[in-house]
Amino acid sequence: MDIVNGPVPGGRAPVDELTAVQEFLAEERPAAASTVTEARRRLEREAAAKRGFGSRLRPDAVRPGRRRIVMAVLGAATAVSVAAGGYHAWVTRPLYHPEPLAAQSGPASDFLLAAADAKARHITDGRIWYVRKVRGLAMTISSIKKPGTAYQIVVTRNDYSVVSKDGKVDDGWNDEGQNDLDDGLDPHRVKSDDVRPAGPRDRAAWERDGRPDQQDLVFAEKIKGDELVIPRRGPEGREGGELDFGPEEARALPADPEELRAELLNYATRFDHRRLRNPDLYLFVHAPQLLIDDPVSDRVRIATYRILAALKGVRVVTATDPAGRTGRAVAMRETTREHGVIEWQLFIDPATGRLTASQGIVISPGTANAALRPGTAEFTEVVEQAEWTNKPADQLRPKWWNDPLRRASNQD
């Protein structure tokens, strides 16, 4: 039996859900005897009328046995209706409400508040929210050509999205024709090479292995599964649901930090309806998607930075991002049995308040990533563009998107 989370009125021990519902529905005091008598008479009159007797049959002429049956059925129906409505209200009630953000002090809070101020100085708007980024996932594989030899690789993929405010455009795709987009781009960008060695010590082994790409590894059964590995933001199955807002939901999010925090936490608990054990960690890991992925207003992004600045346990670190750039980042650590200790890092441009990259560094591996070396960036994301624009959607999509044959091939 699940246990009701959170404080219990009166300081009592936690109770199971059915008991909580019963207490929630319990009457504060019984009705007066005269009220009960009058209600019974009205019910009997209505029941007799519906059976076709009308006014010719007095309520007190109804046989006692039938009267008891009528009252039992009506009482049961009423109880079921009230209980169902009460239970639905109980399990869908908000678990979190707007409240003042915690006041934190220190380098991390200062860094994030400065990012909020920088974003406030660079508020933009447009018809379309455009994102281009590269995600990566590190893994250890055994050599194709030299059994007994293993090395670490990073599987990468370009991700794009074009979402318009009016809802007429909502495209998201990954790039199977990445070479079409290389011309004219920043030479320091992370190219989606499909597979690359995780570090210098892995490059030699990867080259001796014939520089295998993802198709080669799947064919050689070095990567399990029939489908290609898709890099993701982080491990699955963490506490709380994903913030998988649709475009309309994202645009409706409040720009007030206190209201936004409650909205995010209630959205995270909408399925199991359990308070999070560590809401600060959840927000640090999940809320940054509002900075990049969702078509929210820049004022919502400013509110997101202010939420992050109020979290406990956030530190400032100097680190190298997945694109090879060294700088300051804010970090928080998460410990699970499956992935051990992961340090989540967010890299932010202090001049513009834009999130430029994020990564999850393995501090000590767990059961699911035991083959990865400590210090490996298991989950990576480099943000190459994330901006409001008024450019036509066709100019933002990859070239192959406008080629019907190649588009069909890539979607297959």
Q: Per residue in 204-240, pLDDT tens?
A: 999 999 999 888 888 888 886 556 687 888 887 678 8
The better pLDDT of the pair 262, 57 is held by 262
173 phi, psi to nearest 5 deg = -160, 165
Spatial neighbors of 302 by CB under 8 A, at least 6 apart, are 116, 119, 120, 255, 353
- In this predicted structure, the answer to whether residue 27 has a pLDDT above a threshold of 60 is no
Spatial neighbors of 96 by CB under 8 A, at least 6 apart, are 261, 262, 265, 266, 269, 275, 279
Domains of the chain, by residue range, sit at 9-91, 107-411
How does 133-161 read in b/e, with b if 16+ C-beta sit within 10 Å? bbbbbbbbbebbeeeeeebbbbbbbbbbb
CA 203 to chain centre: 34
Which two three-digit tokens encode residue 47?
């029941």
Q: For tokens 């994020």, name the residue.
A: 358
pLDDT-derived band at 398, boundaries 50, 70, 90: confident
Q: Which residues, in sequence order, are bridge partners of residue 142?
A: 150
Spatial neighbors of 243 by CB under 8 A, at least 6 apart, are 264, 267, 268, 286, 287, 289, 290
Continuous H helices in 54-106: 64-91
Write out the DSSP string of 131-179.
EEEEEEEEEEEE-SSSTT-EEEEEEEEEEEEEEETTSS-EEEEE-S-GG
The better pLDDT of the pair 298, 71 is held by 298
Q: What angle, rounded to 10 degrees, do the helices at 257-268 and 279-286 form?
A: 100
Q: How many Cβ atoms sit within 10 Å of the Cβ of residue 386?
A: 18
Mean pLDDT, to the nearest integer, of 229-257?
A: 88
